[in-house]
DNA sequence: CGAAGCGTTGAGAGCCGTCAAACTACGTGG
DNA sequence: CCACGTAGTTTGACGGCTCTCAACGCTTCG
């Protein structure tokens, strides 16, 4: 890694949690690499060579079974992935592909485990990160099992709207196809869901979304902090 | 806690991971308590007062939304729950009820967090526990999104059979209603699924299950280590 | 201009949930 | 020991949600 890259990377919370004197060891064998869209970064079943951290761009996490595939998450800058696999030194449970051209920091998993063993502060940061990740998947499981696709879509719109300033209009951050994956439905179903949402005064034009009646959309979504709030 | 209870509790892996000198502090405010069936141990949304560890019996983890409810796990002896909430000091994401009369070790969450902060070995054990738990929920999410109810049921039977010695016959460890919850389907659907499984030579008599053609059941289930193997 | 990919729309089917009724198993009290 | 009530289980009927397949329009990019 080049010197100016250290600054960028030092701001990543996980790395910052390691004691000053351990950081060089963490970054010695690390790569900060640029990948074009569609590249498959990791594949489920492989042994964990690197902890991956998204510095720029978007990454989709997914999993295959028979001839099916499902999205288990979409990550943006600042998010790490496959941390659990690295800590336990067990095979990846999911694959990852680049959605939009991305820069990924890859830290050798031995380095992570080595610092984990000698740096208590780092270990505690990992614990918190994992606890957050655990709650994230659990919320997703609840989202899937307790809500219909219409409710999930509505809840997603309400939350994304809030995250982008509550202006009641925004652009989708990725293709509708990817959003459908995130919501756990087929693209055709999402398309029809948007039609249904017209009765709740949601207007869709390409990637542009207008929420003209937030109250009624919110009522439909029944937002629940224990499912929707990423900080809860 | 009475002295003889310390032995029992010392064998719980999480507690055993704490340094000898910290164990008394962990257990000082702890309770080892017996609960009858149906008692609700915790309720989602509440602040985490205690880390719970199942010493004996079975506990069902579930979650509510609107007028719906879904099971997110069933635990037996040795399992802890709501660790993530305790570590982060955030509200429970799930509720828990006793299925069959159980003994639960309840450790005050402040004690957990206090030892977590000063005992690096304990912190690392927590990390591993959380990493395992993370992978567990993720597998469950994949199980739900990638498989049909028939496949989930078949996979569950194949795995439980393996776990109980591969004798191709066993008793269900809980009511079919609870199994249906675990599999994420309505009880009526499970009942019909068992009828369908007759063509794969699965015989069901009350709680008793006979697998008369493991190969064909296995073929149906397409077991996948990255979904089914609890150790993977 | 043509190819490729995304998005929409229609048609059809299958999976799964709900409601209702009947049947069974089990435990309690008489 | 039996009667009864409760809870679990099964079965039927039905409907709705979601998937798949297919066709078509649109945009993008080579």
CA-to-C1' span, B40 to C29 (A): 28
Task: Supply the angle between the helices B120-146 and A109-118 in degrees, to the nearest 10.
Answer: 140
Rounded to the nearest angstrom, the minimum Cα separation between B101 and chain A is: 26
Can you point out the beta strands (E) in chain B?
31-35, 40-42, 50-65, 68-75, 80-81, 95-108, 169-171, 202-205, 208-211
Residue whose structure tokens are 């720029």: A56
Query: pLDDT confidence of B200, banded at 50, 70, 90?
Result: very high
- Please state, as a whole number, how many other Cβ atoms lie within 10 Å of the Cβ of residue A12: 18
Residue B46 and residue A232 in contact, taking contact as beta carbons nearer than 8 Å: no
Average pLDDT, chain B: 94
- Please state, as a whole number, how many other Cβ atoms lie within 10 Å of the Cβ of residue A141: 25
Query: DSSP class of residue B156?
Result: H
Chain B residues 48 to 87 whose Cβ lies within 7 Å of strand C are 68
CA-to-C1' span, A150 to D28 (A): 30
Locate the domains of chain B by residue range.
Answer: 3-144, 148-228
Residue of B nearest to A140 (CA): B141
Question: What pLDDT sits at residue B14?
Answer: 86
User: CA angle, corner A102, sides to A47 and A48, nearest 5?
Assistant: 10
Strand C proximal to A190 Cβ, under 7 A = yes
Residue A59 and residue A104 in contact, taking contact as beta carbons nearer than 8 Å: yes
Q: Do A146 and B70 touch (CB under 8 A)?
A: yes
Phi, psi of A146 (to 5 degrees): -105, -15
Nucleotide nearest to B186 (CA to C1'): C17
Question: What pLDDT sits at residue B13?
Answer: 73
Which residues on neighbouring strands pair with residue A22, listed in sequence order? none
Residue of A nearest to B224 (CA): A65
Q: How far apart are the C-alpha atoms of B126 and B176, rounded to whole Å?
A: 33
CA A120 to mean position of chain CA atoms: 26
Question: What pLDDT sits at residue B177?
Answer: 97
Strand C proximal to A176 Cβ, under 7 A = yes
Q: How far apart are the C-alpha atoms of B216 and B116, rounded to whole Å?
A: 48
CATH architecture assignment, domain A3-144: Sandwich (2.60)
Q: Do A138 and B142 touch (CB under 8 A)?
A: no
Which residue from A108, A120, A86 is spatially nearest to A25, judged by alpha carbons? A108
Strand C proximal to B148 Cβ, under 7 A = yes
Which residues, other chains included, contact B92 with Cβ-Cβ below 8 Å and sequence gap of 6+? B42, B43, B44, B45, B46, B47, B48, B82, B85
Strand D proximal to B204 Cβ, under 7 A = yes
Question: What pLDDT sits at residue B1?
Answer: 57
Q: Do B127 and A132 touch (CB under 8 A)?
A: no
Indicate whether B68 pLDDT > 60. Answer: yes
Contacts of B134 in chain A (CB under 8 A): 84, 130, 133-134, 137
CATH of domain B148-228: 1.10.10.10
Q: Do A63 and B137 touch (CB under 8 A)?
A: no
Rounded to the nearest angstrom, the minimum Cα separation between A201 and chain B is: 23
Pairing state between β B31-35 and A95-108: unpaired
Which residues, other chains included, contact A230 with Cβ-Cβ below 8 Å and sequence gap of 6+? A136
Strand D proximal to B209 Cβ, under 7 A = no
User: CA angle, corner B155, sides to B153 and B158, nearest 5?
Assistant: 110
Question: What pLDDT sits at residue A13?
Answer: 73
Question: What pLDDT sits at residue B7?
Answer: 57
Q: Do A138 and B137 touch (CB under 8 A)?
A: yes
Per-residue pLDDT of chain A (232 residues; tens, 9 = 90+): 555 555 556 556 788 999 999 999 999 999 999 999 999 999 999 999 999 999 999 999 999 999 999 999 999 999 999 999 999 999 999 999 999 999 999 999 999 999 999 999 999 999 999 999 999 999 999 999 999 999 999 999 999 999 999 999 999 999 999 999 999 999 999 999 999 999 999 999 999 999 999 999 999 999 999 999 999 9
- Upper half-sphere CA count for residue B167 (Cβ side, 13 Å): 7
Q: How far apart are the C-alpha atoms of A135 and A52, rounded to whole Å?
A: 20
Q: What is the mean pLDDT of residues B21-39?
A: 92
- Upper half-sphere CA count for residue A83 (Cβ side, 13 Å): 25
Residue B88 and residue A128 in contact, taking contact as beta carbons nearer than 8 Å: yes
Q: What is the mean pLDDT of residues B48-54?
A: 96
Q: How far apart are the C-alpha atoms of B160 and A105, rounded to whole Å?
A: 40
Residue A227 and residue A155 in contact, taking contact as beta carbons nearer than 8 Å: yes
Token couple for A160 = 């994304």
CATH code 3.30.565.10 for A147-228: no
The string of pLDDT tens digits covering residues B122-152 is 999 999 999 999 999 999 999 999 999 999 9
CA-to-C1' span, B93 to C27 (A): 35
Residue closest to C8 C1′ by Cα: A191
Contacts of B124 in chain A (CB under 8 A): 116-117, 123
Residue-wise burial string across A210-219, b where 16 or more C-beta atoms lie within 10 A, e elsewhere: ebeebebbbe
Q: DSSP labels for A93-121?
A: SSEEEEEEEEEEEEEEHHHHHHHHHH-HH
Strand D proximal to B176 Cβ, under 7 A = yes
Residue A201 and residue A212 in contact, taking contact as beta carbons nearer than 8 Å: yes
Question: What pLDDT sits at residue A9?
Answer: 61
Residue B232 and residue B147 in contact, taking contact as beta carbons nearer than 8 Å: no
Residue whose structure tokens are 């019996």: B57
Looking at strand D, which nucleotides approach a protein CB closer than 7 A?
8-13, 17-22
Contacts of A146 in chain B (CB under 8 A): 63, 65-66, 68, 70
Which residues on neighbouring strands pair with residue B58, listed in sequence order? B100
Q: Do B126 and A127 touch (CB under 8 A)?
A: yes
Residue A95 φ/ψ region, left for φ over 0, alpha for ψ in the -120 to 50 degree band, beta for the rest: beta
Question: What pLDDT sits at residue B151?
Answer: 98
Residue B57 and residue B102 in contact, taking contact as beta carbons nearer than 8 Å: yes
- Taken in order A192, A193, A195, A199, the sign of the CA dihedral is positive
Residue A215 and residue A201 in contact, taking contact as beta carbons nearer than 8 Å: no
């Amino acid at each position: 890694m080049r010197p100016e890259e250290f600054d960028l990377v030092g701001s990543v919370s996980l790395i910052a949690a390691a004691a000053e004197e351990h950081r060089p060891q963490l970054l010695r064998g690390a790569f900060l690499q640029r990948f074009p869209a569609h590249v498959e970064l990791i594949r489920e079943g492989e042994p964990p060579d690197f902890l991956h951290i998204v510095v720029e761009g978007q990454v989709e996490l997914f999993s295959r079974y028979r001839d099916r595939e499902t999205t288990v998450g979409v990550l943006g800058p600042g998010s790490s992935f496959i941390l659990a696999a690295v800590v336990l030194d067990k095979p990846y449970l999911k694959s990852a592909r680049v959605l939009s051209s991305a820069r990924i920091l890859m830290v050798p998993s031995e380095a992570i485990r080595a610092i984990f063993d000698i740096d208590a502060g780092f270990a505690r940061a990992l614990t918190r990160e994992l606890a957050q990740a655990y709650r994230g998947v659990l919320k997703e499981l609840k989202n899937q099992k307790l809500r219909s696709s219409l409710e999930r879509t509505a809840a997603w719109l309400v939350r994304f709207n809030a995250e982008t300033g509550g202006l009641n209009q925004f652009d989708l951050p990725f293709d509708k196809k990817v959003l459908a994956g995130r919501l756990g439905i087929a693209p055709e179903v999402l398309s029809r869901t948007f039609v249904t949402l017209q009765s709740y005064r949601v207007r869709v034009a390409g990637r542009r979304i207008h929420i003209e009646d937030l109250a009624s959309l919110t009522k439909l979504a029944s937002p629940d902090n224990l499912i929707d709030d990423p900080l809860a």
